[in-house]
Amino acid sequence: MRRNIFTLLLMFFALSAGAQQIKQEVIASSGGYNVASGNTISISWTLGETIIPTFTSQDGSIVLTHGFQQKIVITTVEENLVNPVKITVFPNPASEIANVEFETPTDTEVTIFLVSNQGSLVKTIQIPSGTLIKEINMQDLPSGIYYLRLVKGKLVNVYKVVKL
């Protein structure tokens, strides 16, 4: 009988230990508490919170998130209404000549800046309006990675070209 009671008590303690709930804790490297003048608004904060609530204004223009898993919120600072320059760069990798082919003839002048992988300007090429394809001579350049930075007014496109 004693043995049965001991076994029952042991099972009870084992089950109750397994049924414990883990409290949510904040492990933070920093934090603070501020009260606005007049005690109308108070805010407490920590860095590294594990709770991730999100608050959105009624019109959806303001999103407030905190914690380590924030949603990605992209805000447009300036809308660029200029039509993008659609081009194809071939062959890529290139050994001697890289061709820049425009989907439609350019309606304005386009400037190409050929930039090395270290960020130094290697060449500047002016392309007149009405151009459909432009060859870029890369024979005199050492092998490596280069970037074609096309500038058309306010629009800037960057393309990577590998020189063999």
pLDDT score for 84: 63
pLDDT of residue 4: 79
Q: Which amino acid is at 26?
A: V
Own/partner long-range contacts of 115-119 (Cβ < 8 Å, ≥24 apart): 115/146, 115/147, 115/148, 115/149, 116/144, 116/146, 116/147, 117/144, 117/145, 117/146, 117/147
Residue 81: the pLDDT is 46
112 contacts 148 by C-beta, under 8 angstroms = yes
Whole-model pTM: value is 0.49
Token pair for 95: 């050994």
Q: What is the pLDDT along the chain (164 residues), one digit of tens a residue?
A: 778 787 877 776 666 655 555 554 555 556 676 777 776 676 666 665 555 566 677 777 666 655 544 444 445 545 444 556 678 888 888 889 999 998 888 888 989 999 998 889 999 999 999 989 999 998 999 999 899 888 888 888 888 899 98
What six digits make up the tokens of 50? 């594990």
Cα 29 to Cα 47: distance, rounded to the nearest angstrom: 6
pLDDT of 50 reads: 53
Query: Cα separations (Å) of 35 from 40, 41, 65, 143?
Result: 8, 6, 20, 61
Q: Which domains does the chain have, with CATH numbers?
A: 30-65 (no CATH), 87-163 (2.60.40.3080)
Q: Residue 67 and residue 24: Cα distance in Å, rounded?
A: 13
Give, for 127, the enclosing helix (H) or strand (E). strand 121-127
What is the Cα Rg of the chain in Å?
31
**pLDDT computed for residue 47 by the predictor:** 63
